[in-house]
Each structure stands twice: as C-alpha cells, then as structure tokens.
Amino acid sequence: MDRIIDTSKIMVRCAYHSDWDGAMKLAWNTFARFDAPDYSQEGIENFHKFVNDDMLRKMFIAGQYQLFVATDDDRYVGMLSLRERSHISLLFVDEEYHRHGVASALIRFVSKYVLTEEGIDRITVNASPYAIGFYHKRGFVDLSGETVADGIRFTPMELRFSKEY
C-alpha cells in the first residue's frame, strides 16, 4: 500500500554543504531505478562518475555550482542542481514522492532564484528520455532533437519565464 504523503511538510531550499552527500545519493539511486534502463553501460558509468566527482563538490562549496533540496523532515525527497547559473544539471525526486509536486516545486523555486538572483529569464535542461513528458507539462520546449554524448541520452530544452514568475 502506498503511504500517505503530507506535502505541506515538504520544504524546498538552497542546500547547505552538509546536504551534498544525501542529495547525490538520491540522484544516483533515482537515476539507477528510472533512467539507467535507457542508457548504455558507458552512460551509466559516466553518470556515476559525475555524481561522485570531488571537483563538482568543490565547485558547490565554492559557490560555483548551485544545489537545491526538497526535504520531508530529515529525508531528502528531491534535489536540483544548476550549472552555469541557469542550466538544470540534475533533477531527481525520490520514487515515493513522484507525482506529489516535488519536482514542480523545485522548478518553481529555482526559476525564481534564477530570475531574482542571477537576472536570467530562462532555464535550460538536457532532459533524459524518462523526464521529457514532465518538462513538456511544465512549459519547457525542445531546442533540438535527442542527442547522445558520452553515452548519455538527452533532449535539450528551455523554459522562458516572465518577471512575474
């Protein structure tokens, strides 16, 4: 039986340094469950290297790579990271929390952040095959067709938003 999720307790916020390991573990576990079946072994290995890259962690600590988390009490239930100030690098939600608005809340929070803190009126993402429908429902449009790089399959997408976002 599915457990009842009280979405009013879910908090979306900028990540602290102490959130890194939990967020990356969530990203890897969710990728392995939902995305890996669509990827080659090379893609799976490259993704694993990416979420375990110490240089990426150092960039986050230095403020050059933004990380946002969604928590339910002390549990990480969603995470989103930005590179280059407005490109969604990672977006993952714990399986139990799919279809409860966690990813949408992360997108809204980060969109406001990008607009107010970075002064940029759009965000981009390289959407995995699993996530294309999700992004389309939130207003993202394809910038080109599916691409494969280093074994990672993705469709480049963009969401433009107005100052009222």
* DSSP string across the chain: -PPP--GGGEEEEEPPGGGHHHHHHHHHHHIIIIIGGGS-HHHHHHHHHHHT-HHHHHHHHTTSSEEEEEEETTEEEEEEEEETTTEEEEEEE-GGGTTTTHHHHHHHHHHHHIIIII--SEEEEEE-GGGHHHHHHTT-EESSS-EEETTEEEEEEEEE--TT-
**Domains of the chain and any CATH numbers:** 7-120 (3.40.630.30)
Beta bridge mates, 8 = none
Q: What is the pLDDT along the chain (165 residues), one digit of tens a residue?
A: 456 777 778 999 999 999 999 999 999 999 999 989 988 999 999 999 999 999 999 999 999 999 999 999 989 999 999 999 999 999 999 999 999 999 999 999 999 999 999 999 999 999 999 999 999 999 999 999 999 998 889 999 999 987 654
Please state, in angstroms and rounded to a whole number, the distance separating the CA atoms of residues 4 and 26.
Answer: 20
- Count Cα atoms within 13 angstroms, Cβ side, for 106: 29
Nearest CA-CA partner of 121 in 71, 160, 88, 80: 160
Tell me which residue has tokens 């002064």.
119
The pLDDT, as a whole number, for residue 78 is 97
To the question of pTM greater than 0.85 for the whole model, the response is: yes
User: What pLDDT, on a 0 to 100 scale, did the predictor assign at position 17?
Assistant: 94
